[in-house]
Structure 1
Amino acid sequence: MKRRNFIGYAGAGLSTAIFSTLVSHVEANAQSSGVSVQWLGHTCFLFTGGGKRILVNPFRTVGCTAKYRPPRVTADLVLISSQLLDEGAVDGLPGNPKLVFTPGAYEFQGMKLQGIATDHDRKGGKQFGVNTVWKWMQGGVNILHLGGAAAPISIEQKILMGRPDVLLIPVGGSDKAYTAEEAKQAIAVLNPKLVIPTHYRTQAADPQTCNITPVDDFLTLMQGTPVRRSSSDTISIKSGDLSDSTAIQVLTYKF
């Protein structure tokens, strides 16, 4: 099915421009004000900056997300990595946000976005299909959200992804997302300035059905990389404040 048949899914329309050349970098605004990143649980984050609010991967509260609050926040644009319930549940979102969930190059209110297709499992996509990695620049910060990536990053994908200022990466494993070791390998490939781990076990999990591991398993594996633990679910980021070497930022969900 062609991309135009997907845009407008769940009743949300999106005016898009499809670019003939896929770009791997977007120029930063020299007068950027930065971006606020709020963790809403699992792989769901709200990015606020540059006059826009972008919501990524709203979920249904079941399994590993059972005790999180439904992420029904106001946003201008919603990006989802797949239509699985833990990263693509858009029912009940307030307002009329624009929605994109297929790979490709887009423009939204002057902002360029790139959706990059990767496998959502270790079987060439045969089990869970395509995962869409989202790349964009907001408030002068180059953001890369890997969604539910499970396969190694190819050379072609790395070219499209570039070097992110902020990388959001799954670390808890399962059949449809990176294990801690796989996440470490992807970080070595992408060399981000700041890593925000996602998709790991918290007290929100239903212990009978959730099979992902805690973030501490990943942090132990990444010994030697600076780790910042915030007591908040939100962090403000400016590109100029980031070190050139990789650091890890762990946010705290407010139950």
Structure 2
Amino acid sequence: MKRRTLIQYAGSGLAAAAATVGLSQSQQAQAQTSNAVTIQALGHTCFLFTGGGLRILVNPFRPIGCTKGYRPPRVPADLVMISSRLFDEGSLEGLPGSPRLLAEPGIYEYRGVQIQGVRSPHDRQGGRRFGFNVTWRWNQSGLILAHMGGAAAPIEVEQQILIGRPDVLFVPVGGGPKAYNATEARQAVLALNPRIIVPTHFRTAAADANACDISPVDEFLSLMDGVPVRRPGDTITLRRSELPSEGARIELLSYRF
């Protein structure tokens, strides 16, 4: 793949920052000074990654449908990566400041961080219905992170090679027409063999009962019987030295309503 230049996104101004939710200064400092990554769940497939002096926001959304009850994730970030332009994972409205934006597959470098965007169908019809999804893989503070966005098709050999074996895998589990269901998510986990599994894209209390077609996380957890599950709340700090030495574990992050 060709190395691509980063795209500048002009945010709507610093005024929006006053209404944002995010990591405290102490949490950010901890992640930046201890060779760790602090991960905050902001709803659906949206997470803020803070570590190595860098804040990366993945998949900001518009509160609608399955994300209706979440607050808009208007948090300060240096870099924003989106898996598609769909409202539930690619809405840039109201982001504070002027973060850089990655939205297309390819190989990138940003402030010393190597980033790989891997394309896959966003549906089970070869992308004919919802287009294509980007899985983002990057190394931050010594951890290899992979966020699958709204992947819906089985992982092909080329994609598996590009993604490699991540330390931490963010995988959609709630199904619907645009992303993996529990069984498909389990197959992706088996293919990529991560050490930490973070379920995303599942139904919560935020969903509009009349406009959300995805399922809760329970079915995925039951299919992963035997894999330890931790429930750390909305934020977790991970260090390479604390990853499982063998096997894997699930970190089920929850949204702070």
- Common fold by TM > 0.5: yes
Partners of 1:164 and 1:6 in 2: CA distance: 23
User: Structure 1 runs of 4+ off > 2 angstroms?
Assistant: 2-12
Task: State the Cα distance separating 1:8 from its structure 2 match.
Answer: 3.6
- Residues 200 and 65 of structure 1: CA distance in aligned 2, closer, same or farther (over 3 Å): same
1:172 corresponds to which letter in structure 2? G
Give 5+ residue unaligned stretches, structure 2.
13-32
> Which piece of structure 1 moves more, 178-187 or 212-221?
212-221
Q: By how many angstroms is 1:11 displaced?
A: 6.8
Aligned-partner SS, 1:169: strand
TM-score, length of structure 2 as denominator length:
0.88
Assess, with a 3 A threshold, how the Cα gap between structure 1 residues 97 and 208 changes in structure 2: closer, same or farther: same
The one-letter code of the counterpart of 1:103 is: P
Aligned counterparts of 1:166 and 1:5: Cα–Cα separation in 2: 26
Residue among 143, 162, 170 paired with 1:141:
143
- Deviations 1:53-112, CA, capped at 9 Å, x for gaps: 000000000000000010000000000000000000001100000001000000101111
Cα distance in 2, alignment partners of residues 190 and 3 from structure 1: 24
Q: RMSD across aligned C-alpha pairs, in angstroms?
A: 1.9
**Length-normalised TM-score, structure 1:** 0.88
C-alpha distance in 1, partners of 2:10/2:85?
A: 11
Structure 1 residues 216-250: Cα deviation after superposition (integer angstroms, max 9, x where no partner): 111011111111112x2000001121113111110
Residue range with higher mean Cα deviation, 239-248 or 196-205: 239-248
Looking at structure 1, the residues matched to 10 and 93 of structure 2 have their Cα atoms a distance apart, in angstroms, of 7
* C-alpha distance in structure 1 between counterparts of 2:4 and 2:137, whole Å: 20
Q: Equivalent residue of 1:134, what SS?
A: strand
Partner in structure 2 of residue 181 of structure 1: 183
> Secondary structure at the residue paired with 1:157?
helix
Residue 67 (structure 1) aligned with residue 66 (structure 2): no
CA shift in 2, pair 1:5/1:239, >3 Å = closer
Whole-Å separation in 1 of the counterparts to 2:122 and 2:10:
22
- The question of whether the paired residues in 2 share the 8 Å contact of 1:10 and 1:91 is answered with no
Q: Which of 129, 132, 136 is the aligned partner of 1:130?
A: 132
Unaligned 5+ segments in structure 1 are 13-30
Q: Within 5 Å, give how 1:20-169 maps onto structure 2.
A: 33-169=35-171
Identity of aligned residues (%): 59
How many pairs does the alignment contain? 235
| Contact 2:65–2:207 (8 Å) recurs in 1 | yes
Instruction: State how far apart, in whole Å, the 2-side matches of 1:10 and 1:159 are.
Output: 34
Counterpart residue identity of residue 109, structure 1:
R
Structure 1's 246 and 216: CA in aligned 2 closer, same or farther, altered over 3 A?
same
1:211 to 213, 226, 229: 213
